[in-house]
Amino acid sequence: MPVKSINSVRCAFLLGVFAVVSIVGLVGFGHWNAQAQMQNHGMGQGMHGHGADGTGHDEVNMPGLRGMNATSEESTELAVMFRGFQTLSREVVDLPNGIRTVTISSDEAVMGALASHVAGMIGRVERGDDPQIMIQSPTLDIFFLRGNAIVTKIDVTDEGIVVVQTSDDPEMVTALHVHAAEVSDMADRGMQAVHEMMMQRAGN
């Protein structure tokens, strides 16, 4: 995914001070029982098959943030964002060919994790390198399969992290719209939004 524009000084400052996180989106994933997920649905199944009774949730250790191809640092950064979701503010504009999002946190540690996460995920999409986080949304699958169909522009401003993603692929545009809404819901409601998304997918 080519990055056409970055405020390199501010972005480097954030990344250097706070290290590496991943958006988009999406935000808040501490629910799953890792062993049950791997046995019953596999690491790549994400939010599918969540237990309706809520068993297996561990919001302290957040095993659902682990992944077959994710680093411990990435999982830790996700946990920072989920635990600090109430500090996040996010605006999304659906464009005819993509999205424009602005995300910021009032907490420096959460903001650092956010900046690192966004940069890391854009790099993964560019490489087709799916982290396979146990509870990640299936909406992300198309990004890792066809990431070269996305053009991304990033800027770090006083507003926050501004990301514009566009595509000529109608399926990709739909996925961008859906995923942006999923991330916004998680930024607003944290684990509760994740819980409900998993329950909904399990019922389909």
Residue pLDDT, tens place only, 18-35: 333 333 333 333 332 333
> Which stretches does DSSP call E strand in the chain?
88-95, 98-105, 150-157, 160-167
pTM for the whole thing?
0.69
Residue pLDDT, tens place only, 100-113: 999 999 999 999 99
pLDDT band (50, 70, 90) for residue 183: very high
Residue pLDDT, tens place only, 112-121: 999 999 999 8
* Rounded Cα gap, residues 195 and 28, in angstroms: 9
